[in-house]
Amino acid sequence: MKKLLSPILLIGTFALSAAGHLLHWNSTLEFVLSALSVIFVAGFLGRATESVAHYAGQRLGGFLNATFGNAAELIIAVLLVKEGLFDMVKASLTGSIIGNLLLVLGLSLFAGGLKFKIQRFNVPLAGMNGSLMIVAVIALFVPAVFLNTHSIEGLQIDTLSLIVAGILIAAYLAWLLFSLVTHKEYLADPAELSAASAGAAAAGSVLPADGAETASGAPAHAEEHAEEPAWSKGRSILYLVIATVMVAFVSEWLVGTLETFTVQFGLSELFVGAFVVAIVGNAAEHSAAIMLAMKNKIGASVEIAVGSSLQISLFVAPVLIFVSFFMGGLSGTMDIVFSTIEIVAIAVSVFVAKSIIQDGETNWYEGLLLIAVYIILGVSFYMVH
């Protein structure tokens, strides 16, 4: 029954969302149906990516999940840029960053910690992620300070934004080279290293004692009999492509209802962009990261949550600046100057997330602290009009 229920909900919500868009139903109903459809499609996307991760390894799998999970966020943002809604774009980017660092990571640590008490992942990777997050904060903080303390004209702001965006994209591409190629083993998850060691030991007829634990904290025999993926490699990739296409459609339908939804319920663009759009757009990361944490694959969960935030701040946001520049139009180029409340929210999220993950160990209480900070920020954003 469970296997049948998920495809029915996926196809059903997608069909209803399409019907609402094409037949011009009530805007609020369209928004609800589109949001539900994005969540189910993102769940499908997360499951397909998790299956691909089995063949690609936890780190590459986590990167793929973060990338395809951000597909909805990127598509929504591009559509908003096209409409000239730059403030909502920045709010959604802010919401995506803090949502991944606080909500997604918090729920993952909480759910995984309840089941496994203490979970461990690569310490050098945690340190590098923390450093990159600080760079992202600096890239947002410096232009805002310069704009508020000096008289800078529009053209100069656009030029500064494009230069900073180019530097961030270069830094992100260099990080991919460093983490996935030149220092792949150095940043590998302990679970993968222990599995490789177990394989080498088995090849040499040296088996670990029954009940012995691997570096990940799980029994050795549990590592050897890891859960098989839901689909084959080819089918997983095919479903990944299909899910991404479906996300593109429902994201466009969702954006079409945002303005009416915001006005009807008296919400600010800042709150809608930072929390409503961000939560819906990040549904893939939510589901996949939590499921992996509950399977004691905390390294992949952290890679999804933190990696997605890094991808948003170091790649997606800069790319959107270039997209707005090449699109041109009456709205001009989107600058990289975020509002004070957005910068504060991102800085707070980076600070607390870095302090929690830097030791390479997690538990359920640390996850609860991240969720608490997210709720505090959510209430604060809601009060701003």
If you write DSSP's letter for every residue of 289-329 in order, what string do you get? HHHHHHTT-HHHHHHHHHHHHHHIIIIIHHHHHHHHHHH-S
pLDDT 10s digits, 161-180: 889 999 999 999 998 888 88
What pLDDT, on the 0 to 100 scale, is given for residue 154?
60
- 183-197, 279-293, 296-310: which has the minimum mean pLDDT? 183-197
User: What is each CA distance from 73 to 158, 179, 184, 327, 370, in whole angstroms?
Assistant: 23, 24, 28, 19, 22
- 21-35, 47-61, 116-130, 159-173: which has the minimum mean pLDDT? 47-61
Written as one letter, the residue type at 267 is: L
Burial (CB count within 10 angstroms: exposed 0-12, middle 13-18, buried 19+), residue 197: middle
Closest to 274 in 3D by CA, of 324, 210, 332, 339: 339
What pLDDT, on the 0 to 100 scale, is given for residue 211?
41
Q: Which two tokens stand for residue 238?
A: 């095919």
C-alpha–C-alpha distance, residues 253 and 20, integer Å: 9
User: How many other C-beta atoms are found inside a 10 Å radius of the C-beta of residue 30?
Assistant: 23
Segment 225-239 mean pLDDT? 74
pTM, rounded to two decimals: 0.76
Segment 306-318 mean pLDDT? 87
Secondary structure class of 275 (helix, strand, coil): helix
pLDDT level of residue 61 (50, 70, 90 thresholds)? low
What pLDDT, on the 0 to 100 scale, is given for residue 195?
53
Which structural domains are found in the chain, ordered by start? Answer: 2-383 (1.20.1420.30)
C-alpha–C-alpha distance, residues 368 and 105, integer Å: 10
DSSP H helical ranges for the chain: 2-23, 27-56, 58-69, 71-82, 86-98, 105-116, 123-149, 154-177, 190-203, 220-224, 233-264, 269-271, 278-281, 283-294, 298-311, 317-327, 340-357, 364-383
State what percent of residues in the chain have pLDDT above 70. 78
C-alpha–C-alpha distance, residues 48 and 59, integer Å: 16
Give the distance, in angstroms, between the CA of residue 348 and the centroid of all CA atoms in the same chain.
17
C-alpha–C-alpha distance, residues 272 and 259, integer Å: 10
Cβ atoms 169, 315 nearer than 8 A = yes
pLDDT level of residue 380 (50, 70, 90 thresholds)? confident
What pLDDT, on the 0 to 100 scale, is given for residue 281?
66
- Top mean-pLDDT range of 104-113, 199-208, 272-281: 104-113
Q: What is the mean pLDDT of the chain?
A: 78
> What is the DSSP-derived secondary structure letter of residue 359?
T
Cβ atoms 47, 230 nearer than 8 A = yes
Secondary structure class of 204 (helix, strand, coil): coil
**Per-residue pLDDT for 156 more than 60?**
yes
What pLDDT, on the 0 to 100 scale, is given for residue 197?
53
